[in-house]
Structure formats: structure tokens, C-alpha cells
């Protein structure tokens, strides 16, 4: 049959053995009246035992009840508190888990950045910084040589034509008029040749500026691509750090949970022992 607290207290008072119950025995008996009735019977046998052997058997029976209901022992005479149940085993287990927990290791290397365009950037930058100042000479301009040959050829032909025409007009004899006409024709093409010099200079200067602009554009394009690569690296690094922080937080949470569990077990054991020690 199932006993109640009143059943246990009534029988305890009638037995006169209330002073033989430790606080832990009493608390366990109030929680489990069946335990209370059974251990009261064991204490009665212990109290009335005529031999040490009989006392030992009665005490062993009481300790078996304590281990079953409360995971503790009363020692050799029932007056002690010795935890024998889950708490010591759980504390040892948690201590072992904490001892073997190990240090944090994310297991992945952080992304690194290597500028694949560094050499090209330096080359273009050097070509811009060390670019020589503009200079031009008609003697080294290929177009000047072409213009010169063309105008000299046209000037010679114009001179000959003017001289021939003027001489024919004077009966085939050269005259000062013919000579002047031929000279004027030659001077005309010489002037046209000189007039092309500013144009050739400006064309050469425009080419100089265009080359400079193209070098700047090339450097800008390389810098832009390098910046894209670097931004991609920063994104990967940010994701790596976020993932690593997440893993580290999970690691610390697991470790702190073990510490909390250990603290809870130790606190409960201290509480249980404190309840016993107040009555010892």
C-alpha cells in the first residue's frame, strides 16, 4: 500500500526515534512516505539489535533505501551524509568534459590578398611620372620629310614651267621677267612648305597629349580592376571573420554551458551537504 506523510509522522512519533533521523532522512521521508516507513522499520531493527551483526544488517538495509530514494548513504550508523548517486558521477563527468574541451580552433585559414596588378601599376605610374617633356624638331618628323619632298618637287616643276612660259613669251630668250617669274613660283611652294610647320608641331603635341591620356586611362583601368579584387577580398575577409566569430561564440557557449552545469551540480551537492551538516 502507498503511505502518506501523516502515516509516516504518526508512526515516527509513536516509535520515539525521531531524534535518530538526520535532516536528509527526514526530508527524503517527507518526499517519499514509503521510504519513511521502510527506513523507520530499519532504524527500529537497528535500535533493538542485540549483536553488531544485526546492527550492520539493519544499517545496510537503511543505506540501500537511502541509495534508492535519495542517492546518498548514512554511513556506518546512519548519522552521516555521503552522496553516492548521480551528483558525484555527473560532477566527475562534467569535470572530465571540461578538462578535455580543448582550445578553440576554427580550422580554416583567413583569406589573404595578393595584388596581381602591382607590377603593371608600377610600370604605368613610372611611365607617367617619368614622362619626358614635349619636344619637337621638323628634321625628325617623318611627315616633314614627306611634305618637304613633295613641295620641293612641286616648286621645281612650277619654277621650270614659269621659266619656260616666260621665255616663250620673249622669243625663247631668258629675260629678267622670266627669271623673276620662275623665282616667284619657287618661293610660293617654299612658303607653303614653311606654313605646314605649325600644323606639324600641333599634330605632334596632340599625339603627345593623347599618349599621356591613354597612359592615364590604362592606369585608371588597372587600378579599377585591382580595387574590385581588393573589395572582393574584403568581402571574403568579412565573411570569414563573421563565420569565425559565430564558431567562437558557439565554442564559448558550449564551454560556459558545461561550467554552468558543473556549478549547478556542485551547488546542489553543497546544498544537500549543508542540510545534512546543520543536523550533524
Dist CA 280 CA 275 (whole Å)? 9
Res. 228: pLDDT tops 80: yes
Q: How confident is the model at residue 96 (pLDDT cuts 50, 70, 90)?
A: confident
Whether 237 and 110 have beta carbons less than 8 Å apart is answered as yes
Strands (E), 53-189: 72-73, 82-83
- Number of Cβ atoms within 10 Å of the Cβ of 148: 15
Question: Residue 4: helix, strand or coil by DSSP?
Answer: coil
Dist CA 41 CA 74 (whole Å)? 15
Dist CA 36 CA 7 (whole Å)? 9
Q: What is the pTM of this model?
A: 0.50
The pLDDT value recorded for residue 40 is 92
Question: Residue 116: helix, strand or coil by DSSP?
Answer: coil
Q: Which residue has the higher pLDDT, 218 or 257?
A: 218
Dist CA 49 CA 77 (whole Å)? 13
Phi-psi region of 102 (alpha: psi -120 to 50; beta: other; left: phi over 0): left
Dist CA 145 CA 112 (whole Å)? 57
pLDDT tens column, 162-211: 556 655 555 555 556 555 655 565 567 677 778 788 888 999 999 999 99
Nearest in space to 73 (alpha carbons), one of 262, 273, 266: 273
Percent over 90 (pLDDT), the chain? 45
Nearest in space to 214 (alpha carbons), one of 126, 136, 133, 128: 128
Q: Which residues of 201-228 are buried (b: 16+ CB within 10 A; e: fewer)?
A: beebeeebeeeeeeeeeebeebeeebee
Amino acid at each position: 500500500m502507498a503511505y502518506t506523510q501523516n502515516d509516516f509522522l504518526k508512526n515516527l512519533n509513536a516509535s520515539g526515534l525521531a531524534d535518530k533521523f538526520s535532516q536528509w532522512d527526514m526530508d527524503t521521508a517527507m518526499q517519499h512516505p514509503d521510504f519513511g516507513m521502510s527506513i523507520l522499520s530499519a532504524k527500529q531493527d537497528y535500535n533493538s539489535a542485540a549483536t553488531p551483526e544485526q546492527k550492520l544488517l539493519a544499517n545496510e538495509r537503511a543505506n540501500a533505501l537511502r541509495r534508492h530514494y535519495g542517492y546518498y548513504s548514512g554511513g556506518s550508523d546512519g548519522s552521516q551524509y555521503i552522496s553516492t548517486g548521480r551528483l558525484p558521477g555527473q560532477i566527475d563527468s562534467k569535470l572530465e568534459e571540461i578538462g578535455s574541451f580543448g582550445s578553440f580552433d576554427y580550422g580554416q585559414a583567413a583569406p589573404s590578398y595578393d595584388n596581381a596588378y602591382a607590377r603593371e601599376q608600377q610600370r604605368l605610374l613610372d611611365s607617367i611620372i617619368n614622362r619626358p617633356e614635349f619636344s619637337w624638331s621638323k628634321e625628325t618628323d617623318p611627315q616633314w620629310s614627306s611634305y618637304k619632298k613633295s613641295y620641293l618637287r612641286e616648286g621645281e616643276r612650277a619654277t621650270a614651267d614659269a621659266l619656260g612660259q616666260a621665255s616663250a613669251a620673249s622669243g625663247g630668250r631668258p629675260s629678267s621677267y622670266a627669271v623673276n617669274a620662275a623665282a616667284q613660283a619657287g618661293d610660293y611652294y617654299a612658303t607653303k612648305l614653311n606654313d605646314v610647320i605649325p600644323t606639324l608641331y600641333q599634330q605632334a603635341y596632340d599625339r603627345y597629349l593623347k599618349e599621356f591620356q591613354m597612359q592615364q586611362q590604362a592606369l585608371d583601368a588597372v587600378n579599377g580592376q585591382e580595387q574590385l579584387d581588393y573589395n572582393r577580398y574584403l568581402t571574403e575577409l568579412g565573411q570569414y571573420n563573421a563565420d569565425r566569430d559565430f564558431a567562437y561564440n558557439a565554442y564559448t557557449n558550449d564551454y560556459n554551458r558545461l561550467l554552468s552545469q558543473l556549478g549547478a551540480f556542485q551547488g546542489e551537492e553543497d546544498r544537500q551537504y549543508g542540510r545534512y551538516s546543520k543536523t550533524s
